[in-house]
Structure 1
Amino acid sequence: MGALSKRAIGAALMDQQINLFACPVCQQSMYVYEQGRLVCSANHSFDIAKQGYVNMLTNSVSSKYSKSLFESRKAVIDSGIYDVVEAKISEIVAPAKTVLDTGCGEGSHLARIMKAKKYGIGIGIDIAKEGIMAAVRHYPQQIWCVGDLAKSPFAKASFDAILNILSPANYEEFKRLLAPDGCIVKVVPQSGYLQELRAQLYADSSKETYSNEQIVARFQDSFHEVTKERVTYTLPLDENLVPALLEMTPMGWHKKEDKDLILNAITIDVDLLVGKV
């Protein structure tokens, strides 16, 4: 008997966790049909791609994120500059059987967090198809979904932990998806995040400084039992990673062509916010 196809492997993972899914059109329960589609009782159908991910968008969307951006993001994350942050998240979500990463991009954070915790299943969702295609290519052990949290393809109260790492949030949907006693982990930049880059790109402008006070306050108003931990450290940066760092962060998108950057080190400075419904 030959090896399973990538589609079959992805379909099997989805079938094992089928209770997590709900039709994004009608919210009915779903089943895997012939290893090729997710189908609900009202016969809404979503194809499982040959690469092993499922596209559950209900309408076409455009994404500003390119294949090369996700390649750059993976290179930067693989360099280890977020290792400390990922390790702390792994500890926080250690008991979780089901972990949803919202705005997962190419999946590197989720894959590394799940590998560290050695338990449970990770599900990544992103509106950018290029990111999900990269995720399933590199990390087929998890479930990957192209989808929009505004029309969520997941069932109510189905996740023990929800991750929102340096990404836009949908708090009302997080509350719907979080299981009793589950937690939401949000990572937001602090004032020193990538400060070496900010100082050179935004010198002598209002953007040279940054505050996350409004984001933190909204999170605290939205969830209960909120804790906040600041994680900050500075690491040497390989000069070969500078172009990738510029491509992966919105700060770098506004760089002037004639502006040379010298980055020998980079600072990671974030708040880890943890809350419950």
Structure 2
Amino acid sequence: MAGGLRCPICFSAGFGTVPLSPTGTLVLGCANGHRFDVNKRGYVSLLPPKTRVVGDSAEMLAARARFFATGAYQPIADAVAGASSNAVTGAGARIAEIGCGTGYYLDAVSSAVDAGDILAADLSPAAVRTAVNSVPGAVGLVLDVWQPLPLADASRDILLSVFAPRNLPEFARVLDIDGCLVAVVPTGNHLHEARAAGLALDIPEGKADDLVRTAEPWFDEVERTEVEFQMTLDGEALELLLGMGPSAHHALTTDRAPDAPGIVTASVTVLTLRRTPNSGDPA
């Protein structure tokens, strides 16, 4: 397993940061006797006790994998890989994607940088399982981003958050000095043809600027890349696109209207945010 993990039970009980390490074959444990089974496929669940939330379904992940296989989002993956490469300050970068999904973006980054430790983390066990099978050398972690992360202080050099929730104070805590968060957020133009046809959720303008403002106590913006391009999608690819994202969680259906678009715009901002001095210090 990856290094830099901490016991979620000890932390929940107020014992602070207690490291996890291998205590046997496919077992992680802490000094206080808590044990966690590691799946033979290379991932472990460190969800806090009594967690009730659920992650993306297997159906959503399958749609995502099939859509990514078309290559339609390759420019976004390339931009994420480029931003991550620019953020790396040395060899053996410790990389984690929080909200890894299928591992599509993590795979692009791990191929572009000199990675020493690759962690695929998500609330969905199905996502983590898919990611560790897709990203060479990756290990997986099931976690809840809105809870204290089961990652040690200063244990990562790069965090990826692509169309995913962000726990900014926790991200700052687990990033090392000069560590960076590479985040992808949609612009107001993203999938606008599908939204005009009533097939996707609205996206407010200025999400990137909102993130930068919200992140100011913990992060400074160091790079921004706007990525916008048009995709020519047949009916199947459009169904996959709509089925893999937030619209799949809501009442929208993938029954396309007669005037459903064949040309769909992808428009995102790739932000690199560097951890500010002392922002990662534990409270």
What TM bracket, shorter-length normalisation?
0.7 to 0.9
| Counterpart AA for 2:20 | M
CA–CA distance in 2 between the matches of 1:81 and 1:131?
A: 20
Q: Which residue of 1 aligns with 2:76?
A: 85
Q: Which residue of 2 aligns with 1:265?
A: 263
CA–CA distance in 1 between the matches of 2:225 and 2:183?
A: 11
1:1-277 pair list within 5 angstroms: 14=1, 17-18=2-3, 20-26=4-10, 27-59=17-49, 60-63=51-54, 65-94=56-85, 95=88, 97-117=93-113, 119-139=115-135, 141-149=137-145, 150-201=147-198, 210-211=204-205, 212=207, 213-220=209-216, 222-252=218-248, 253-256=250-253, 259-260=256-257, 262-277=260-275
Structure 2 contact 159–180 (Cα < 8 Å) conserved:
yes
Change (3 A) 1:208 1:225: closer
Structure 2 contact 199–242 (Cα < 8 Å) conserved:
no
| Counterpart AA for 2:26 | G
Structure 1 contact 81–268 (Cα < 8 Å) conserved:
no
What's the % identity of the aligned pairs? 27
> What TM-score comes out, normalization by structure 1 length?
0.84
CA–CA distance in 1 between the matches of 2:21 and 2:255?
A: 54
Displacement after TM superposition at 1:272 (Å): 1.3
Structure 1 contact 182–276 (Cα < 8 Å) conserved:
yes
CA–CA distance in 2 between the matches of 1:32 and 1:99?
A: 20
Structure 2 contact 156–176 (Cα < 8 Å) conserved:
yes
Structure 1 contact 129–146 (Cα < 8 Å) conserved:
yes
> What TM-score comes out, normalization by structure 2 length?
0.82
| Counterpart AA for 1:135 | A
What is the RMSD of the two structures over their aligned residues, measured on CA atoms?
Answer: 2.3
Local SS of the residue matching 1:86: helix
CA–CA distance in 2 between the matches of 1:124 and 1:29?
A: 19
Displacement after TM superposition at 1:91 (Å): 2.2
CA–CA distance in 1 between the matches of 2:55 and 2:20?
A: 31
Local SS of the residue matching 1:48: strand
Displacement after TM superposition at 1:116 (Å): 3.3
CA–CA distance in 1 between the matches of 2:226 and 2:239?
A: 27
Displacement after TM superposition at 1:54 (Å): 0.7
Q: Which runs of 4+ in 1 moved over 6 A?
A: none
Between the two proteins, the alignment pairs up a number of residues equal to 258
CA–CA distance in 2 between the matches of 1:192 and 1:168?
A: 20
Q: Which runs of 5+ in 1 are unaligned?
A: 1-13
Q: Which runs of 5+ in 2 are unaligned?
A: 11-16, 276-283
CA–CA distance in 1 between the matches of 2:221 and 2:71?
A: 30
Which deviations, in whole Å up to 9, do the C-alpha atoms of 1:211-247 show, x marking residues without a partner? 1253343234541244332211112224321221121
Local SS of the residue matching 1:230: strand
Structure 1 contact 114–121 (Cα < 8 Å) conserved:
no
Structure 2 contact 56–124 (Cα < 8 Å) conserved:
yes
